[in-house]
Amino acid sequence: MATDPVCGMEVEPGTAAGEYEYEGETYHFCATACRERFVENPERFL
Ligand SMILES: [Zn+2]
């Protein structure tokens, strides 16, 4: 399981609503809205 860095939910990488690579790490998201928030400002969630 991976943890959605935006909302803290656990997401299964295979069924995640979205993923995004940032500085060599791949992050998974429960919803596209979470992904969009992360893409806007990744540092805020790390
Ligand atoms: Zn989320």
- 7-44 pLDDT, tens digit each: 999 999 999 999 999 999 999 999 999 999 999 999 99
The pLDDT assigned to 16 comes to: 97
The pLDDT assigned to 46 comes to: 95
Instruction: Give strand pairing partners of 11.
Output: 2
CA distance 24 to 32: 20
- In the reported structure, the alpha carbon of residue 38 is separated from the centroid of ligand 1 by a whole-number distance in angstroms of 10
List the shell of residues around ion ligand 1, using CB closer than 5 Å.
Answer: 4, 6-7, 9, 30, 34
- In the reported structure, the alpha carbon of residue 6 is separated from the centroid of ligand 1 by a whole-number distance in angstroms of 6
SS (H, E, C) the chain: CEECCCCCCEECHHHCCEEEEECCEEEEECCHHHHHHHHHCHHHHC
- CATH class of domain segment(s) 2-45: mainly beta
pTM: 0.93
The pLDDT assigned to 45 comes to: 97
Domain residue limits, the chain: 2-45
Which residue, among 38, 32, 40, has the nearest Cα to 5 in the 3D structure? 38
Fill in the amino acid letter for 3.
T
